[in-house]
Amino acid sequence: MTARVSKILIVDDTPHNIDVLSATLADEHCELMAATSGARALELAARGRPDLVLLDVMMPKVDGWEMLQRMHERHGVGSIPVVMFSGKVDESAAGQAAEHGAQGFIGKPFDPHELIAQTKQLLPT
């Protein structure tokens, strides 16, 4: 029996950040999808429902908070786990992410081990 491959959607308006996140997760046996805008990410999520979304907070037009809200409206709150990440990190950042319905928060620059640990906790087995 073959193990199910998890799908992870990475959303960041900076292609370099997508490359770094993709490289970090390359050995984790998952299918990676990427989008540089919230609008494109919502399209990808509708077509190939991901098992996890890694979502940048600070993006133009549709920011991470708005995208998270739209995902909740379309798919149901918590139906797709979301880990938010941002370069603007303070004590309230993780709490704010949780209040908006995200299951995790990672500051940028991120610790690859923390990213992998949070990802594994939230992906289906």
Strand partners, 31: 7
Look at residue 31 and give its three-state secondary structure.
strand
The full DSSP string for 38-56 is: HHHHHHHHHHS--SEEEEE
Domain ranges, residue 55: 6-122
Residue 66 lies in a domain: yes
φ, ψ (nearest 5 deg) of residue 68:
-60, -45
> Please, what is the average pLDDT of the chain?
88
Name the one residue in this structure whose structure tokens are 């199910």: 4
Which residue would you say has higher pLDDT here, 124 or 11? 11
Residue 82 lies in a domain: yes
Which residue would you say has higher pLDDT here, 1 or 78? 78
pLDDT at 109: 85
pLDDT-based confidence at residue 87 (cuts at 50, 70, 90): confident
Residue 88 lies in a domain: yes
Q: What is the mean pLDDT of residues 77-89?
A: 86
Residue 71 lies in a domain: yes
pTM confidence score: 0.91
Q: How many domains does the chain have?
A: 1
Residue 50 lies in a domain: yes
CA distance 79 to 92: 24
Residue 1 lies in a domain: no
pLDDT at 11: 96
φ, ψ (nearest 5 deg) of residue 121:
-65, -35
pLDDT digits (tens, 9 = 90+) for 6-47: 999 999 999 999 999 999 998 888 999 999 999 999 999 988
| CATH code of the domain covering residue 47 | 3.40.50.2300
On the question of pLDDT at 50 being above 90, the answer is yes
pLDDT at 86: 87
Contact 58, 12 (CB under 8 A): no
On the question of pLDDT at 77 being above 90, the answer is no
CA distance 88 to 75: 28
